[in-house]
């Protein structure tokens, strides 16, 4: 567990994650509204070199960033009513890395090799970040977290 006391802390964690990201990786971002999931996703995209706006994919569901050193799809499943609706998105048919907000909407369909990051807290209060790192992330996460 680490404490994130500012957006700068979140950006540092996101940059450390971007440094080890590979095509096909899946990062599941869990947490309540306002916990910092989108902030972490924006930080990761910026660390990979994205210069433009990073809109929330709440309404588009998927926002692709294919022109990065590691292509990324930023996904927000908040509006899904049924896990089967995710099938039409082709999430697990791409070679892009996936950043999935609200992965619990997949109801058990999240691949076992996904890195699950859980953010807790909201507003001006510090957040906490916890994770479940499967074997696919061994030696990559959390080994390179900023000190």
Residue-level pLDDT, tens digit, the chain, 147 residues: 899 988 899 999 999 999 999 999 999 999 988 788 899 999 999 999 999 888 788 878 999 999 999 999 999 999 888 888 888 887 888 899 999 999 999 888 899 999 999 999 877 778 999 999 999 898 888 766 765
User: Does any domain span residue 123?
Assistant: no
Q: What is the CATH number of the domain that holds 64?
A: 3.40.50.300
User: Does any domain span residue 54?
Assistant: yes
**Domain of 28, in residue numbers:** 2-106
User: Does any domain span residue 134?
Assistant: no
- Are the beta carbons of 128 and 1 closer than 8 angstroms? yes
Chain length of the chain: 147
DSSP strand E in 41-143: where?
A: 62-65, 72-76, 97-101, 115-120, 127-132
User: Does any domain span residue 36?
Assistant: yes
- Of 91, 85, 134, nearest to 113 by C-alpha is 134
User: Does any domain span residue 122?
Assistant: no
- Domain count within the chain: 1
């Amino acid at each position: 567990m680490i404490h994130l006391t500012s957006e700068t802390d979140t950006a540092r964690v996101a940059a450390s994650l971007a440094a080890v990201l590979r095509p096909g990786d899946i990062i599941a971002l869990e947490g309540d509204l306002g916990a910092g999931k989108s902030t972490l996703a924006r930080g990761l995209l910026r660390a990979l070199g994205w210069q433009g706006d990073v809109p929330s994919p709440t309404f588009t569901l998927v926002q692709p960033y294919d022109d990065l050193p590691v292509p990324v799809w930023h996904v927000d499943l908040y509006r899904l009513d049924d896990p089967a609706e995710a099938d039409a998105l082709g999430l697990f048919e791409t070679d892009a890395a996936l950043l999935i907000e609200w992965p619990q909407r997949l109801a058990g369909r999240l691949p076992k090799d996904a890195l699950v990051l859980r953010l807790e807290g909201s507003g001006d209060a510090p957040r906490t970040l916890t994770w479940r790192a499967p074997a696919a992330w061994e030696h990559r996460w959390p080994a390179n977290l900023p000190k």
